[in-house]
Amino acid sequence: MARLVQLSQAELDSIRRLYESVMSYACHGLFFREGMSLADEMLKSIGPADPLEAGRTMIVERGWAEDVLFTERGARVRGSIEVSPGSEGETCHRLRGILSKLLETQRKQRVRLAEVECVSTGGRECVFQEESS
C-alpha cells in the first residue's frame, strides 16, 4: 500500500505562492499536470469501478474537497483544499487536473476542464467546465 502524506491548506497555498513568485502563472500548467498525475495513481487502485464515483470518493477521503458533483459539462466542487480567498484568479489547478483525468478516463477521450468559478475569487463554489475544442 502506498504511503500518504498530509499537507495543510495553508501549506498548499504557501507552495502555490512560492511557485508563482518564481514562475509567474506558468506554474498553473505545472499544477494541472501534477493533478493529472495524481489522478493516474488514484485510478490504478479502483479496478473496474466507475472512475467518476471512485474518483469522487478518493477526492473526498483524501481531503482534496468536501464534495464533488460531476455534471454534463464538467464538475462542481464544494470545499476545495486549494481555495485561497482574496486571490486575483482561480487557484484550484491540481484539482482541475484530477477532475480532467477522471472525466477523460470515463469518456475515453481527451478532456480539459477550465475553472470558471472559484471560491478564491468570491464564487459560491468551484465550477469546472469543459474547454471548447
Percent of the chain with pLDDT over 90: 88
C-alpha cell at 101: 483525468
- pLDDT tops 70 at residue 133: no
- Burial state string for 37-76 with b = 16 or more CB within 10 A and e = fewer than 16: ebbeebbeebeeeebbebbbebbeeeebbeebebeeebbb
Q: Round to whole Å and give the CA distance between 15 and 31.
A: 11
Report which residue type is found at 91.
Answer: T
Q: Residue 132's pLDDT band (boundaries 50, 70, 90)? A: confident
CB 3: neighbour CB atoms within 10 A?
Answer: 4
Q: Round to whole Å and give the CA distance between 100 and 113.
A: 6
- pTM for the predicted model, two decimal places: 0.94
Alpha-helical segments (H) within 1-133? 9-23, 27-44, 51-61, 93-107
What is the pLDDT at residue 90? 95
Of 59-63, 106-110, 120-124, 129-133, minimum mean pLDDT range:
129-133
For the stretch 85-105, pLDDT in tens is: 999 999 999 999 999 999 999
CATH superfamily entry for domain 9-130 = Trafficking protein particle complex subunit 3 (3.30.1380.20)
Give residue limits of the domains in the chain: 9-130
CB 126 within 8 A of CB 77: yes
- pLDDT tops 70 at residue 4: yes
